[in-house]
Amino acid sequence: MGWFSFFSSGSSSSSSSSSSSTNSQKTSSDGGRVAPDRSSREQCYHARDVFFECLDRGDIMDAIKHDGEARRKCAREVVEFETACSKAWAKYFKERRVMEYNRDKTIERIKNEDDARTAELKKAQKQRG
């Protein structure tokens, strides 16, 4: 394919259009990727939510680290998620799920430590006064 592929014969343009139609990513006339529209994003978000619900039922937090187990327990949901979302989005959502879980656990631990420290200080104040 050359610089001016749109001037080439129909056989090469039909092969490029058929290959782009099989890809879930849309491409613009200059060959760049087109950002997903609202309905595509909504389909992706819905597929993500269904996939994550399945992971929760299967007690799988990290779908990247435990990919084989996730694909075994949530085969249909994985296919729908990876079809509806780009690879980059799917990877991002999987990583974000783990990051948010770790963040929430850290916040919970800090709150528990703070509550314990507050209780110790109150107890020490009662003993002094």
Distance between CA atoms of 113 and 105, rounded to whole angstroms? 12
Give 16's pLDDT tier (boundaries 50, 70, 90).
very low
Instruction: Answer whether residue 2 is part of any domain.
Output: no
Residue 116 lies in domain: 38-127
> Could you tell me the two tokens for 93?
């959502």
Beta carbons within 8 Å of 71's beta carbon, 6+ residues apart: 78
Which of the 8 DSSP states describes residue 27?
Answer: B
Instruction: Answer whether residue 31 is part of any domain.
Output: no
Q: Identify residue 41 by its one-letter amino acid code.
A: R
Our count of domains for the chain comes to 1
Is the confidence at residue 9, as pLDDT, over 50? no
Distance between CA atoms of 66 and 48, rounded to whole angstroms? 17
Instruction: Answer whether residue 5 is part of any domain.
Output: no
Instruction: Answer whether residue 24 is part of any domain.
Output: no
Is the confidence at residue 20, as pLDDT, over 70? no
Distance between CA atoms of 121 and 110, rounded to whole angstroms? 16
Is the confidence at residue 17, as pLDDT, over 90? no
What pLDDT, in 10s, does the model give residues 23-58? 456 777 787 777 788 999 999 999 999 999 999 999
Distance between CA atoms of 44 and 91, rounded to whole angstroms? 12
Give the pLDDT score at 31.
Answer: 76
Q: Specify the higher pLDDT residue, 105 or 2.
A: 105
Instruction: Tell me how far CA of residue 18 lies from CA of 12, 15, 24, in angstroms.
Output: 10, 5, 12
Give 3's pLDDT tier (boundaries 50, 70, 90).
low
What pLDDT, in 10s, does the model give residues 74-109? 999 999 999 999 999 999 999 999 999 999 999 999
